[in-house]
Amino acid sequence: MSPREGNLQAPTRHPLDWRAPEFYDEAALHQEQERIFNICHGCRRCVSLCGAFPTLFDLIDNSATMEIDGVAKADYAKVVDQCYLCDLCYMTKCPYVPPHPWNVDFPHVMLRAKAVKFSKGDFTLRDRLLTSTDAVGKLATIPVVVQAVNAANASPPARKVMEKVLGVAADAWLPPYAERRFRSAAPASLGWPVRDGARTPGKVAVFATCYINYNEPGIGYDLLKILDHIRVPYALVASEACCGMPKLELGDLTRVEALKDVNIPALASLAKAGYAILTAVPSCTLMFKQELPLLFPDDADVRAVAEAMFDPFEYIVARERDGLLDRTFTRGLGKVSYHVPCHARVQNIGQKTREALEWIPDTSVNTVERCSGHDGTWGVKREFFEGAMKIGEPVFRRMEEFEPDYISSDCPIAARRIEEGIAQSGTERSPRRAHPLTLLRMAYGID
Ligand code: SF4
Ligand code: SF4
């Protein structure tokens, strides 16, 4: 049977068998990379998605044979280094994903290569620090320390030193730390009665995330205010650790498992008690919805959490479909350039944020669906920063061309990168940056 072009069935994703002995076998990894790279070279659909594919195609095209067998195995690492595991090639482009017999899962072979690299101790202090969001956040938000850390992050000479010593690009924006952590200052719910809908549980548990807890608590407060306003009782998850996405990107799967073991028991009991679980950062939502179930397919608690997990706008739009949402808005927002981050796209929930923003009167929404170039910790690394800004350029341009009053992205870090890119373009306009939850809170007229 000759393999057909593309799938006729919906894609399925096989779990990652990361505990199998051959998973860390470098020769077996190279064999699988060679197989997939060869298919990609003949296909080339993903050439514009990120740096991994152009790097691969250049390596092959410039080799002696102009085929994959002409590329040195050591050079495969150059392809892996350009992948920040956004999953877009798998979820949006590739016609050869399972159940197609070619069984192409490009991000999973990249993740395996990162795990093999990590298992050999091939990582730096910088890699460890950038991916320890919880530990660094705890330390950086201690009073007095927080002012010193923020001052250093904003100081060009200190950043030059940091670039030299640690390899964090001096020009890359680093998020300032908040003086008060979200989880210690979050107000209690107004305690409305629970109204379950056909699509939505009537009570919500909020998983704060490291970024909201330590860096931008305002987004978390906006989520809580909206929940109070739409009469949904909420609770914070009693204790939480990092979702594990940064460690996944590093290939440190043992640490991912340790974080899973901290988070899942508390989250699973909330899921079983009938809570919807919301996080305001798409990468963390994706971690619980898709990545952990692929790493731990036999864990019933991981599955229960995945099923209870909602993107906030997925929940709000489903609440509206349930006939349980107040859609009375008291103010329009003007022109909003809204960016759909990769980790929201690959959740396969449709553009729920755009849909909710379009409910708001006197508001026009320009939607840009393309990688912003931040990509977790990847885009702040010295060796990738310039390429990351190039990846983001079309997004910066299309967001700015709309002459927006606001720029917005579900991913608060991507929004900062876009703001940075627009500022560097030399435009005199400086649209305000606001998270979609902030915009919704404003449209509801909530202070
Ligand atoms: S997962 Fe994302 S970054 Fe990695 S190869 Fe695919 S599109 Fe590129
Ligand atoms: S990942 Fe799939 S769509 Fe992308 S280049 Fe490879 S074979 Fe083609």
Residue-wise DSSP of 266-314 = HHHHHHHTT-EEE-SSHHHHHIIIIIHHHH-TT-HHHHHHHHHEE-HHH
Question: Do residues 197 and 324 touch, judged by C-beta distance below 8 A?
Answer: yes
Ligand 1, CB cutoff 6 Å, lining residues: 49-50, 52, 83-89, 106-107, 110
Assigned token pair, 325: 């949402």
Rounded Cα–Cα distance for residues 337 and 343 (Å)? 18
SS3 226: helix
Enumerate residues lining ligand 2, CB below 6 A: 39-40, 43-46, 53, 89, 93-94, 96, 104, 106
The Cα–Cα gap between 193 and 40 comes to 54
Are the beta carbons of 220 and 212 closer than 8 angstroms? Answer: yes
Q: Rounded CA gap, 61 and 63, in Å?
A: 6
The number of CA neighbours under 13 Å toward the Cβ of 261 is: 6
Cβ count within 10 A of residue 197: 15
HEC states along 390-405? HHHHHHHHHHHHCCCC
**Residue whose tokens read 């044979």:** 65
Give the sheet arrangement for strand 406-409, strand by strand.
363-368, 334-339, 406-409, 432-433
Per-residue pLDDT at 8 exceeds 70: no
Long-range contacts from 163-167, C-beta under 8 angstroms, 24+ separation: 163/382, 166/124, 166/125, 166/126, 166/129, 167/124, 167/126, 167/381, 167/382, 167/383
Look at 332 and 124; give whichever has higher pLDDT: 332
The yes-or-no verdict on residue 6 having pLDDT over 60 is no
pLDDT tens-digit readout, 26-62: 999 999 999 999 999 999 999 999 999 999 999 999 9
pLDDT digits (tens, 9 = 90+) for 191-212: 999 999 999 999 999 999 999 9
Nearest to 116 by CA among 14, 29, 245: 29
Q: Give the Å distances, CA to CA, from 186 to 212, 235, 340.
A: 11, 10, 27
The rounded distance, in Å, linking the Cα atoms of 56 and 95 is 19
Distance 342 CA to ligand 1 centre (A): 10
CB 190 within 8 A of CB 228: yes
DSSP 192: P
For position 109, what pLDDT does the model report?
A: 98
Q: Are 369 and 340 in contact (CB under 8 A)?
A: yes
In the numeric block, which tokens belong to residue 311?
């993107």
Report pLDDT for 380.
87
More confident residue, 230 or 127: 230
Confidence of residue 138 (pLDDT cuts 50, 70, 90): confident
pLDDT tens-digit profile of 67-114? 999 999 999 999 999 999 999 999 888 999 999 999 999 999 999 999
Q: What number is the average pLDDT over the span 244-267? A: 97
Query: What local confidence, expressed as pLDDT, does residue 92 receive?
Result: 87
How distant, in Å, are the alpha carbons of 353, 358, 436 from that of 333? 15, 10, 11
pTM higher than 0.85 for the full model? Answer: yes
Atom of ligand 1 nearest to the CA of 87: 1
Pocket test for ligand 2, best of 5, 35, 44 (most atoms within 8 A of CB): 44
Q: Alpha-carbon Rg of the chain, whole angstroms?
A: 22
d(CA 337, CA 406): 6
Q: Note the pLDDT tens digit of each residue in 353-367.
A: 999 999 999 999 999
> Is residue 387 predicted with pLDDT exceeding 80?
yes
Ligand 2, residue 39: give the atom nearest the CA. Answer: 7
Report yes or no: 55 and 79 within 8 Å, Cβ to Cβ. yes
Per-residue pLDDT reduced to its tens digit, 149-166: 999 999 999 999 999 989
Mutate to test the pocket of ligand 1, among 13, 47, 49 (most ligand atoms within 8 A of CB): 49
Q: What is the per-residue pLDDT across 411-431, written as a single tens digit (0 to 9) for each?
A: 999 999 999 899 887 777 788
User: What pLDDT sits at residue 133?
Assistant: 87
Is the pLDDT assigned to residue 302 strictly greater than 50?
yes
Per-residue model confidence (pLDDT) at position 3: 46
Residue 72: strand, helix, or coil: coil
The ligand 2 atom nearest the CA atom of 49: 4
What pLDDT shows up at residue 174? 87
Average pLDDT for 308-313: 98
pLDDT the model gives residue 425: 79
Closest C-alpha to ligand 2, atom 6: 40
Q: Give the pLDDT confidence score for residue 1 in this predicted structure.
A: 38
> Which residue's CA lies nearest to atom 2 of ligand 2?
94
Residue type, 201: P
CA–CA distance, 221 with 214 (Å, rounded to integer)? 13
Average pLDDT taken over every residue of the chain:
93
Which ligand does the CA of 40 lie closest to?
A: 2
The pLDDT-based confidence of 9 (bands split at 50, 70, 90) is low
